[in-house]
Amino acid sequence: MSGGNFNNGAVMFESVSAVTATPTIQIGARTTINGEDYLYVYNGGADTATKDHGVIITAMTGYTISLQSTTGVVGFIGLVKHADIPAASYGWVMTRGFGQAMSPATVSLTTGEPHCAGASGVFSPFTGTQTAAVNGFIINGCVSGATADVYFSGF
Amino acid sequence: MPSTFYNPPVNVESVSSVTATPSVQLGAVRMEAGDSYIYVYNTGSSTAGVGRGVIISACTGYSVTVSSVTNIGGFFGVVKHTAIPTGSYGWVLTRGFTPVVAGATAIVSGGGLEVGVDGAFVHGAGTNTSVIQGYCVTATAAGGTGYGYVRCFGA
């Protein structure tokens, strides 16, 4: 496959909402749409990576991701912004930009606070004592089990 | 006038290239196979070996050194392909997959990666004096070389 450094030729023909069972472009391709950065990944996990959830890297090859994060540990590489990515499917995750983030079932998210990885792709408040990276901040908070507006910056 | 990414000179040189004189402008950035790189000068007293991170050591010229301190700050980039001797120029990976050298303790898959001593990587201590810069995706024993996904300050 030939193309520029940014894979512009192939990337620009596909929406960042596209989810497919076979790859449409090279895994690891990146693109920028409306000021938001995206990364093309494969869901190697057992669960669907659902919209408004974060994903973590799970393998050394192929930009394979999973929803199976742990609260307060490491951090997300991307946020599923547009469409669910089922197990064994390919799609785009946002790596930097504005989006919505699902809060934990029993924890609310507060406006203006930083956020980090929660369990199974939800976003938790960053407490400052965790072994996790800050993945952005909360613009409009929410109650538990809901979605907050956030600015996200993944690995 | 060169473009923002200095594409003409960058693309004629491999990211494995290490030279005694600069072949492109210091601080030049590029992407290669989904990985991001930046061009630096090793001003330290030790060779920056493959799998080791480098820190910024001067305010001008993108000068780096492998002489980091455990859990203090973070890496600017990681030497992915070829060791960069003292007084030499080369490319360091700033975001993507790379070999990572473990410090005095083993690193395990899924664990966060932070700055260790002399360019090695350690897991996060949760002390807030260093940043989590990525995941370990292939474990290794103390002093060994594993594999990781990182996003460093140079990205």
Tell if the CB–CB gap between A60 and B110 is shorter than 8 Å: no
pLDDT of residue A58: 87
Q: How far is CA A119 from CA A61, A91, B135, in A?
A: 24, 21, 16
Contacts of A90 (CB under 8 A, 6+ apart): A19, A20, A21, A22, A23, A24, A27, A40, A41, A42, A43
pLDDT in 10s for each residue of chain A, 155 residues: 344 444 444 445 789 999 999 999 888 888 989 889 999 999 999 999 999 999 999 876 679 999 999 999 999 999 999 999 999 999 999 999 999 999 999 999 999 999 999 999 999 999 887 788 999 999 999 999 999 999 999 99
State how far residue A74 is from chain B, nearest Cα, in angstroms.
5
Tell if the CB–CB gap between B137 and A128 is shorter than 8 Å: no
Place of tokens 């938790």: A124
Tell if the CB–CB gap between A74 and B111 is shorter than 8 Å: yes
Q: Are B139 and B108 in contact (CB under 8 A)?
A: yes
Predicted-complex ipTM score: 0.80
Tell if the CB–CB gap between B150 and A155 is shorter than 8 Å: yes
Is B129 in CB contact (< 8 Å) with chain A? Answer: no
The beta-strand segments (E) located in A59-113 are 64-66, 73-74, 78-79, 90-102
Is B97 in CB contact (< 8 Å) with chain A? Answer: yes
Tell if the CB–CB gap between B132 and A56 is shorter than 8 Å: no
Written as one string, the DSSP assignment of chain B is ---TT-HHHHTTS-TT-EESS-SS-TT-EEEETTEEEEEEEE-SSS-B-TT-EEEE--SSTTEEES---TTSB--SEE--SS-B-TT-EEEEEEEEEEEEEB-SS-B-TT-B-EE-GGG-EE---S-SSB---EEEEE-B-TT-EEEEEEE-TT-
Tell if the CB–CB gap between B131 and A133 is shorter than 8 Å: yes
Pick from B32, B132, B135: CB nearest A57: B135
How many residues are given for chain A? 155
Is A73 in CB contact (< 8 Å) with chain B? Answer: yes
Instruction: For residue A151, give both structure tokens.
Output: 């600015």
B61 has a pLDDT exceeding 90: no
A60 contacts in chain B (CB < 8 Å): 97, 137-138, 147, 149
Is A18 in CB contact (< 8 Å) with chain B? Answer: no
Instruction: For residue A22, give both structure tokens.
Output: 């076979």
Tell if the CB–CB gap between B132 and A74 is shorter than 8 Å: yes
A75 contacts in chain B (CB < 8 Å): 112, 132
pLDDT of residue A60: 67
Residue pLDDT, tens place only, B66-80: 999 998 889 999 999
Q: Calculate what percentage of chain B has a pLDDT beyond 90.
A: 76
Q: Which of A93, A131, A134, A153 to mutate to test the interface with B (most CBs of B within 10 A)?
A: A131
